[in-house]
Structure 1
Amino acid sequence: MLLSGTQFEQSGGSVTPVLSVKNLSTSFRVNDEWKTVVRNISFDVAPRETVAIVGESGSGKSVTSLSIMRLLAKHSSRIEGQVMLGGRDLLSLPEEEMRKVRGNEISMIFQEPMTSLNPIFPIGKQIAEALTVHKDISKAEAKAEVIRLLEKVRIPNAKGRFDEYPHQFSGGMRQRVMIAMALASKPKLLIADEPTTALDVTIQGQILDLIKVLQEEEGMSVLFITHDMGVVAEVADRTIVMFRGDAVEVGETDDIFHRGKHPYTRALLSAVPKLGSMGESRLPMRFPLIDVKTGEQQILKDVTDTVSKLKTPILDVKDLTTRFDIHSGLLGRKTGAVHAVEKVSFNLFEGETLSLVGESGCGKSTTGRSVTRLITPTSGNVQIDGYDVMSLDQHALRKMRRSIQMVFQDPFASLNPRMTIGSAVMEPFIEHKLGTKAEAREKAAAILEKVGLAAEMMRRFPHEFSGGQRQRIAIARALMLDPKVIVADEAVSALDVSIKAQVCNLLLDLQESLNLAFLFISHDMAVVERVSHRVAVMYLGEIVEIGPRAAVFENPQHAYTKKLMSAVPIPDPARRKIKRNMSTDEIKSPIRSVDYVPPVREYREVSEGHLVQVA
């Protein structure tokens, strides 16, 4: 299927595309047979144009980009078709010629910059290498150009950071370094493969703005790979929707969003959380879901109010403080501390969801781990279901954890790869001596059915499941002890957009049927708005704003809350040319000296239950 001809009509004339892909098919050798994972993809990318390839994990979008760059292993992959760049077919070029194309005429940035940067070399040297490989320039000239590039991608104090190492940069700043490296040889085409997926929402906004600005300044074309339709709306002129190796719909981004015909396109669009879509609803709302085969929308019932009217909260946290000492020198003296959580107070009632939101490093995950005593807090008071958490010995602590369980971001890391999922789900029940193995198996089967998995799947291993299914298994495992509180620590952050919607709906279903209380930890404000009763915004270890979800989202008071909300991608192509001009400052360090005394914080009540920290 050809997206456009080999030429684009512009202002009455015609312009040759920068990249022209025709009938691209990619296969992998599996058990001595060739399995085709990308089938007959055709598209062009015009000068200064951004084309987005969108689809979920396994759709073939990243394989398409790697095929264009010829970065797949030769012995186990087969690429067919034609990839034209500057009058040459990249698929027929000798390897030596192709090496000159990579990083020179086409550059690529990946999802995780830390895997692309060498940890033992300074970042300045790594970017300079990208220059010296393709150009005949001196070391001094290369250094001057690297500093110019670092300034161009808005890295503060570029000259001073030339000799710093990757680990000394935040995730967002490392991604800026990768963009600087990609721009070093002034490529005609930049391939951005999920460059913002692993980033906080504010950092994502900065990177999207940066790519827009650099495209204008450098005159580049961009091929943008993503699974997020909100991001597509912000950056793409034209869009290719991929599903299981096929391009199922192509066209102008505006047409795709407003007149999308394929059921899968509509399913992707329906799963994108839209900030401000809750109206006057006081309760959470399930995500609308569309069947990817029929295009029919599932009929969803409204969420019923399950919040306990009792005055005693199931979880009560007062002045929780968690610090990590820093020791240095030959004698290992204490020289400072990381003030991860500072005087945090909140409560949580049965059937309620309180969301903790903020960027990486704000202390929200440490708060979750502290209330469960996975990390020992420095001070404060935590009451869970009648237990005084801070005073418990190991035996009592083990018993208390039947009342509160955690679901983590990466379910694969939470599950033993050598243990069947049946054994993994049964394990907490058996370890806590709550019944026989037969009873554990019966309960595990029932809970797996409740989270949308078949009981016969119990014999399978974690690697045999998708990411969304593994997260359902992790939730089932947490439910085996009949907890009253579940701490969901970025439990949906790593999932594709439609799977994320399904898991969020599952959590709401479970809350309704089991009267669960959720401490929902996330950096995604659009998801938080959908699932929460109340919201607490954290910054540098402190709660800066807390209140009912409607009050916080409709009337945000703290500057940081407003910043988080303004960074959420809005799935509206009309906003494509808008730049948010977000600050590029990194989040401040929570490291304090030994003699540091935290200031006493005061809060003012904006409305009933809506408190904001006074600056």
Structure 2
Amino acid sequence: MNAPASAVEPVLRIENLTVAFRVEDHWREVVKNLSLTVNAGETLAIVGESGSGKSVTSMAIMRLLNMRHARVSGKVLLNGVDLLTLSESAMRDIRGNAVAMIFQEPMTSLNPSFTIGNQIAEALINHRKISKRVAREETIRLLEKVRIPNAAKRFNDYPHHFSGGMRQRVMIAMALALRPKLLIADEPTTALDVTIQGQILDLIKTLQEEEGTAVLFITHDMGVVAEVSDRTLVMYQGDVMETGTTAAIFSAPVADYTRTLIATVPQLGAMRGITGPRKFSFDQRDASETNAVSTSQQPLLSVKNLSTRFSIHEGVFSRKTGAVHAVENISFDLMPGETLSLVGESGCGKSTTGRSLTRLVTPDAGEVAFDGYDVLNLSVHELRTLRRAMQMIFQDPFASLNPRMSVLEALTEPFLQHRLGSKTEARTKAASLMERVGLSADMMKRYPHEFSGGQRQRICIARALMLDPKMIIADESVSALDVTVKAQIINLLLDLQQSLGLSYLFISHDMAVVERISHRVAVMLLGEIVEIGPRAAIFENPQHDYTRKLLSSVPVPDPARRHVKRQIDISELKSPVRALGFVPEARRYREVSEGHWVME
């Protein structure tokens, strides 16, 4: 697909767009003199970290900012018409008809009280003035177009009946319902599993080819930028750092900030020939490699035949009718100073495994031995002692921190609860750990809302270290972070592993990050480990079909692949729900090479 000639009037032209928000008694500019164009059939990516002004730009285009607290100047020309001069009623006709938007979080964008089909049909009825029957037929056609299996049967399903990837497909169908000339995609794949992300990117490419839609794609992921965009605009704190063709941006970036963004994109295959994890390098020099783990030691953690199920109750009398087999008969070891990564899509049992090991959920069967403890048979008092040595870092640092507690209180509370020392000793240790994770001890008097997402995650790491753990379970701890912040947090984790001898159970769906940080990798599907082995074996010689699917879905930061589609199977992950009395079949594993096992 070639971009149209420059002589053609662009679908979108922005001239000197400036957006400011009122902060107490003054105006703070968050987008400064932004100018850009997007042609029909072309994709322009706006890339930058959180706070760069990307999403504010999209909201200004759609006129969705609260004008009591925002001030917008400049021109936003859609097919020559300045949207900033239109009345609200005229703008309502533009939204959906001429410009449509896909938001980052589909669950909050869809109305949970209405069925999927009715939400799409409503827009068709209101804007096209067609009958309900015709709207239903058109909605089913749209759902089929975005590859929703059994679209006619799922017309009356509610949003909570769909997976995250399928909800995002519904949002795309809704956005394309009225065949807009411009599609704004604001971080449409950030929170999705890697396979779902690949499907969504392929889908946008296909629909763009079919409809000739202009796409403004907003993201902080340079790998995604390379795969979808014809041109790229890089923003930082409201300013345009550079703009140009995507190929030129990647091959010869001009701005230091752009070079940093590209340098911190994890690339599959970059670890070939390297035995241990390796830190990110921000100055293009070779980064240091961490030590390999000795296999002659006794495992710090040994898991055997672990199963965790959640009962399903239905009917007036809440009768048990089945169970979710979240974790099914898995076994693995974790050595001192080692990182074992659990990977797989949402619903595969990764997080439930981590919570089962700490007994935040109660397993149904199996054995868990940790540092001499029989974890599943500990008393409440013994479990408290165990959790000193086995800490957990969660995905959302803001939800993990009490908004009413200062950082000092959050850090010192576990130390004091376990009676490990005085308040003075707790404060001293907290200050030392703040410095260790790259923050100032002076920041401890602040509250969580006063920090960025990356800083909050550093605070959660410092809190986990307050009790001198031997093992940390990191549950999607970098998934929602900007690419540069993600690289900094991974470097921090590797530094701490080197200096403190920590073991990590790293739970993630980001295969490129997993390749960077892991010694060994276990691939999970429907609660079972389908392949496990050394990092190099999994990434360079994957044996299971599902492992190959995960690896083939990772965005490659190479603009030459811009119009290449992966042709990923679009079927949803099968359900782990089983009827009462279900007995899973015995699984057999084959050893491909030393320590590399695959389910037959």
TM-score (normalised: structure 1): 0.96
| Matched letter for residue 564 of structure 1 | L
Counterpart residue type for residue 433 of structure 1: R
Which range moves more in the overlay, 93-102 or 206-215? Answer: 93-102
Residue 205 (str. 1) matches residue 191 (str. 2): no
In the other structure, the counterpart of 1:346 is: 332
2:353 counterpart residue number? 367
Aligned to 2:298: 312
Give 1:72-471 correspondences, 5 Å limit: 72-290=65-283, 297=284, 300-305=287-292, 307-471=293-457
Separation in 2, partners of 1:563, 1:231: 18
1:301 Cα shift? 3.0
Provide the C-alpha distance between the structure 1 equivalents of 2:135 and 2:415, rounded to a whole number of angstroms: 61
Which amino acid is 2:13 matched to? S
1:113, CA displacement in angstroms?
0.6
Of residues 484, 495, 499, the one that matches 1:513 is: 499
Distance 1:304 1:156 in 2: 47
Pick aligned residue for 1:57 from 50, 53, 65: 50
Counterpart CA distance in 2 for 1:348 and 1:87 is 62
| Superposition deviation, residue 309 in structure 1 | 4.8
Give deviations 1:403-446, integer Å, cap 9, x for gaps. Answer: 10000000000000010101101111100111111111111111
Q: 1:293 corresponds to which residue?
A: none
Contact kept, 8 Å, 2:227 with 2:555, in 1: the verdict is yes
The whole-number CA distance in structure 2 between the counterparts of 1:10 and 1:123 is 35
Deviations, residues 266-303 of structure 1 (Å, cap 9, x unaligned): 0100010000001201110101214xxxxxx5774332
SS at match of 1:441: helix
Secondary structure (helix, strand or coil) at the match of 1:163 reads: coil
Residue 529 of structure 2 aligns with an amino acid whose one-letter code is I
Note the C-alpha offset of 1:334: 1.3
Letter of the aligned partner of 1:103 in structure 2? G
SS in 2 for 1:320: strand
Q: Residues 151-207 of structure 1, C-alpha deviation per residue, up to 9 Å, x if partnerless?
A: 111101111011110000110010111111111111000000000001000000000
Indicate if the aligned counterparts of 1:9 and 1:15 stay in contact, CA closer than 8 A: no
- The 5-angstrom pairing of residues 536-555 of structure 1 reads 536-555=522-541
Which residue of structure 2 lines up, in the alignment, with residue 5 of structure 1? none
CA distance in 1 between counterparts of 2:123 and 2:174 reads 7
2:312 aligned partner, one-letter code:
I
Secondary structure, in 3 states, of the residue corresponding to 1:97?
helix
Which residue identity lines up with residue 585 of structure 1 in the other structure? S
CA displacement at 1:541 relative to structure 2 = 0.2
CA RMSD in angstroms comes to 1.2
| In structure 2, C-alpha distance between the alignment counterparts of 1:421 and 1:87, rounded to whole Å | 51
What letter matches 1:486 in structure 2? Answer: I
Please say if residues 384 and 403 of structure 1, whose CA atoms lie closer than 8 Å, have aligned partners that are also in contact. Answer: no
Counterpart amino acid of 2:451? F
Paired residue for 2:563, among 572, 577, 599? Answer: 577
Aligned residues: 599
Corresponding residue SS for 1:161:
coil
Q: CA deviation at 1:10?
A: 4.8
Cα deviation, residue 33, structure 1: 1.0
- Read off the aligned partner of 1:595 and give its amino acid letter: G
Gapped runs of 5+ residues in structure 2? none
Measured against aligned partners, the alpha-carbon deviations of 1:373-423 in whole angstroms (never above 9, x if no partner) come to: 111100100011110001101011111111100000000000000101011
C-alpha distance after superposition, 1:503-546 (max 9, x if no partner): 00000000000000000000000000000000000000000000
Q: CA deviation at 1:455?
A: 1.1
Amino acid at match of 1:422: L
1:19 aligns with 2:19: no
SS of equivalent residue, structure 2 residue 96: coil
The structure-2 alpha-carbon separation of the partners of 1:45 and 1:137, relative to structure 1 and needing over 3 Å to count, comes to same
* 1:561/1:394 CA distance change after superposition, 3 Å: same
Q: Secondary structure at the match of 1:74?
A: coil
- Paired AA for residue 382 in structure 1: V
Contact preservation (8 Å) 2:496, 2:502? yes
Instruction: Please state whether the residue corresponding to 2:19 is helix, strand or coil.
Output: strand
Whether the 8 Å contact between 2:341 and 2:522 is mirrored in structure 1 is yes
Q: Distance in 1 between matches of 2:355 and 2:31?
A: 42
> Could you give the per-residue CA deviations for residues 335-380 of structure 1, whole angstroms, max 9, x where no partner exists?
1000000011000011100000000000010000101111110010
Distance in 1 (alpha carbons) for counterparts of 2:479 and 2:281: 18
Asked whether the 8 Å contact 2:3–2:41 carries over to 1, the reply is: no
Distance 2:54 2:4 in 1: 28
Q: 1:233·1:572 contact (CA, 8 Å) conserved in 2?
A: yes
Report deviation, 1:448: 1.2
Distance 2:384 2:229 in 1: 51
Amino acid at match of 1:442: T
Once the two structures are superposed, residues 92-132 of structure 1 have per-residue CA deviations (whole angstroms, 9 ceiling, x without a partner) of 11111111101110000100011111000011110011112
Q: Which moved more, 1:572-581 or 1:327-336?
A: 327-336
- Structure 1: how far apart are the matches of 2:69 and 2:230? 34
State the one-letter code of the partner of 2:362.
T
Amino acid at match of 1:518: Y
Cα offset for 1:330?
2.1
CA distance in 2, matches of 1:350, 1:217: 54
Give the whole-Å Cα distance in 2 for the aligned partners of 1:141 and 1:331: 42
- Cα separation, partners in 2 of 1:536 and 1:9, compared to 1, 3 Å: closer
User: Deviation at 1:304?
Assistant: 2.8
Asked if structure 2 preserves the Cα contact closer than 8 Å seen for 1:486 and 1:518, the reply is: yes
- Choose 30-39 or 569-578, whichever is displaced more: 30-39
Distance in 2 (alpha carbons) for counterparts of 1:191 and 1:62: 10
Q: Is the 8 A contact 2:532 2:598 kept in 1?
A: yes
Q: C-alpha displacement at 1:454, in angstroms?
A: 1.1
Q: What is residue 31 of structure 1 aligned with on the other side? A: 24
Per-residue deviation at 1:234? 0.5
- The answer (yes or no) to whether the contact 2:3–2:40 under 8 Å persists in 1 is no
Does structure 1 conserve the Cα–Cα contact (< 8 Å) formed by 2:242 and 2:255? yes
Q: Distance in 1 between matches of 2:206 and 2:287?
A: 41
